[in-house]
Amino acid sequence: MRLLLIRHGETTANVAGALDTAPPGKPLTELGERQALAAGEVLEAEGIEALYCSDALRAQQTADHMAHVLGHRATVIGGLREVQAGEVEDRTDHDSIEVYLKTVIAWATGDLDARMPGAEDGHEFFARYDASIQQILAGGHEVAALVSHGAAIRVWTALRATVADGIDTRADFNNTSCLTLESNGAGWDLVDWKSDPLGGAHLLDVSALDRTNEPPAEELAHLNEDVDRNA
């Protein structure tokens, strides 16, 4: 099976740099709608047999725009929603963003006991995301696509997929970026990472304060050092 994991289109929260994780969440911007339509057009040749999305408004809107091209109505799966921000929901300040990113990085490096303040720990996140992927697998599709969220896709892939040579897992993961996984019988291989929006780099919003894309390199290094010290 080939599985395409697509981040939703741009939202008003992405533009403002807010941690918007609790459904229904903020809607797509006009650019986000164009990104979603372009994603559908790019993926039309992929032979996608089924489309899935989280229960967040932005994911459903993205999937709806893609469906106009792909011809598949999306199935909503709540477990595909974003890593929940808990006590730092809707925050934009540096300290809150650092709390969120440090927790996600801890999970990605194997510390599933770490808990997002006021929300889920890594075990709970992986339980619901794994169950969602199993639901998609049970559909028996050769090729399927899901619309989910930046941090959720990154952290799940970090622990559940073997990375093919040449793929940089610290690359940007912008709105309507796409990861491609292939099942190998025992798990998943990450075989492609498209950082630009599926419609092309011209659909990037370089002015957006997107918090669940990739933190600046120096901040990521600092956070990884903290995780290593606490391991």
* pLDDT at res. 212: 65
State pLDDT tens for residues 135-160: 999 999 999 999 999 999 999 999 99
What stretches of 18-142 show up as alpha helix (H) in DSSP? 30-43, 57-70, 94-108, 122-137
State pLDDT tens for residues 74-131: 999 999 999 999 999 999 999 999 999 999 999 999 999 999 999 999 999 999 999 9
Q: How confident is the model at residue 210 (pLDDT cuts 50, 70, 90)?
A: confident
Q: What is the rounded distance in angstroms from the CA atom of residue 187 to the CA atom of residue 199?
A: 29
* pLDDT at res. 170: 86
Rg (CA), the chain: 16
The mean predicted confidence, pLDDT, of the chain is: 91
State pLDDT tens for residues 162-185: 999 999 888 999 999 999 999 998
State pLDDT tens for residues 185-205: 889 999 999 999 999 999 999
For residues 34-48, give the mean pLDDT.
Answer: 96
Q: What is the rounded distance in angstroms from the CA atom of residue 124 to the CA atom of residue 121?
A: 5
For residues 38-55, give the mean pLDDT.
Answer: 97
Query: Angle 12-13-17 (CA atoms, 0-180°, nearest 5)?
Result: 125
Instruction: Walk me through the domains of the chain, giving residue ranges and CATH numbers.
Output: 2-230 (3.40.50.1240)
> Which residue in this structure is represented by tokens 């992929």?
46
For residues 29-58, give the mean pLDDT.
Answer: 97
Q: What is the rounded distance in angstroms from the CA atom of residue 3 to the CA atom of residue 35?
A: 20
Per DSSP, which regions of the chain are E strands?
A: 2-7, 50-53, 75-76, 143-148, 161-163, 178-183, 188-194
For residue 64, the one-letter residue type is: D
More confident residue, 231 or 102: 102
For residue 110, the one-letter residue type is: G
Q: How confident is the model at residue 231 (pLDDT cuts 50, 70, 90)?
A: very low
> Which residue in this structure is represented by tokens 């339980």?
127
* pLDDT at res. 25: 97
For residue 55, the one-letter residue type is: D
3 state DSSP class of 206: coil
User: What is the Cβ-side half-sphere exposure of residue 205, based on CA atoms within 13 angstroms?
Assistant: 24
Q: What is the pTM of this model?
A: 0.90
* pLDDT at res. 72: 87
Structural contact between residues 111 and 231, judged by C-beta atoms closer than 8 angstroms: yes
pLDDT > 90 in the chain, percent: 84
